[in-house]
Amino acid sequence: MKNYTSINDIDNINSWIDEAKALKTNHLKDVNLGKNKTLGLLFFNSSLRTRLSTQKAALNLGMNPIVMNVSGDAWGIEFGDGTVMNGNTAEHIKEAAAVVSQYCDIIAVRAFPSLTDKAKDESEQVLSAFKKFASVPIVNMESATGHPLQGLTDAITISEHAKVSKPKVVLSWAPHIKALPHAVANSFVQAMQKMDVEFVIANPEGYDLNPEITGNTTIYHNQEDAFKDADFVYTKNWSSYKDYGKINNTDPNWMITKDKIGDAKFMHCLPVRRNVVVEDAVLDSKSSLVIEQANNRTYAAQLVLKKILENL
């Protein structure tokens, strides 16, 4: 594997899950694989889990991680082709990506969407530019439209906790005070479509995700109907896709409560706003898998880096 930028880069999700579980039981097995190799982590946006778990994964493989907060610490990067750079940007991605490629054997990038320009966001301007102008493999640490490290993590976590051969998994929208990206939801949808699960989505009218991603997946506009017999309830807010980036609904009745989910396991990528997205009683209960999900971020990243290192 050269790059990991989408859930579609996973050739066989079941074998990847098995490999990740094996790494988890012996996380230093490949500690010499990444010896003298450098992972560059470039953050255009904030992070806690991705930043630390990807570094931890690199260390487990013997790699040297180096981290930069691009927004704020680096020169402003220009992505336009042929731009007269007499504005705020001081360095072009053509030079920036080529230079970082000389310091790093793999580059991991986090760059969120604008949520104001759908076409620009869907072009994956930052991630695509790194893929084009870097000479080393690229890992997506959450881009405008996808968070494939999180999606792989979630698939691993569901596999670990499934009590039946084909569990029912519900992705439910929940309210939020800010306009949030679609990336986590998109990658979760793509991961579930690759797994042997009964998968449905619940969101209010006007909040359907990109139909090119949801495809034939059933979408409920009634949360109670969707939650019937659920084994896993995965919750995430996203802003409207149709009315791009807008908050048209903050209905607190969509918040996840213990009463609603019953015996189902609760999942969320974190960070989560308590008592806005989900009530304390869920997060503080044994039903919540959020801490285990965060733990699995290390092994998802480790598996991805391992596959890339084996192909260098």
The answer to whether the annotation marks 292 as part of a ligand binding site is no
The answer to whether the annotation marks 142 as part of a ligand binding site is yes
Alpha helices in the chain (DSSP H): 13-25, 49-60, 70-73, 93-103, 118-122, 125-133, 148-161, 183-194, 211-214, 223-227, 258-261, 280-283, 290-309
Shortest separation between residue 46's beta carbon and ligand CP, angstroms? 7
The answer to whether the annotation marks 110 as part of a ligand binding site is yes
CA dist., res. 149 & res. 52, Å (int):
13
Going from the C-alpha of 305 to that of each of 34, 65, 246, the distances in angstroms are 9, 12, 35
The answer to whether the annotation marks 269 as part of a ligand binding site is yes
CA dist., res. 35 & res. 183, Å (int):
32
**What is 42-89 written as a DSSP string?**
EESS--SHHHHHHHHHHHHTT-EEEEEEHHHHSPPEE-STT----SS-
CA dist., res. 134 & res. 93, Å (int):
9
* Residue 87, CA atoms < 13 Å, CB-side half-sphere: 9
What is the distance, to the nearest Å, from the Cα of residue 262 to the centroid of all Cα atoms in its chain?
27
Q: Which is nearer to ligand CP, 143 or 287 (CB)?
A: 143
Q: Does 186 bind ligand CP (CB under 6 A)?
A: no
Q: Which is nearer to ligand CP, 129 or 269 (CB)?
A: 269
Shortest separation between residue 268's beta carbon and ligand CP, angstroms? 9
Quick check: 250 and 231 in contact, CB under 8 A? no
The answer to whether the annotation marks 50 as part of a ligand binding site is yes
Quick check: 156 and 17 in contact, CB under 8 A? yes
Shortest separation between residue 26's beta carbon and ligand CP, angstroms? 25
Per CB under 6 A, the segment of 32-40, 72-80, 121-129, 264-272 that binds ligand CP is 264-272
Residues in 138-177 that interact with ligand CP by CB under 6 A: 142, 150
Residues in 34-93 that interact with ligand CP by CB under 6 A: 47-51
Residue nearest to ligand CP (CB): 50
Shortest separation between residue 105's beta carbon and ligand CP, angstroms? 22
The answer to whether the annotation marks 268 as part of a ligand binding site is no
The answer to whether the annotation marks 205 as part of a ligand binding site is no
Number of residues that bind ligand CP (CB under 6 A): 10
Contacting residues toward ligand CP, per CB under 6 A: 47-51, 142, 150, 269-271
Give the annotated binding-site residues for carbamoyl phosphate: 47-50, 75, 110, 147-150, 269-270, 297
Give the annotated binding-site residues for N(2)-succinyl-L-ornithine: 142, 176, 236, 273
Give the annotated binding-site residues: 47-50, 75, 110, 142, 147-150, 176, 236, 269-270, 273, 297
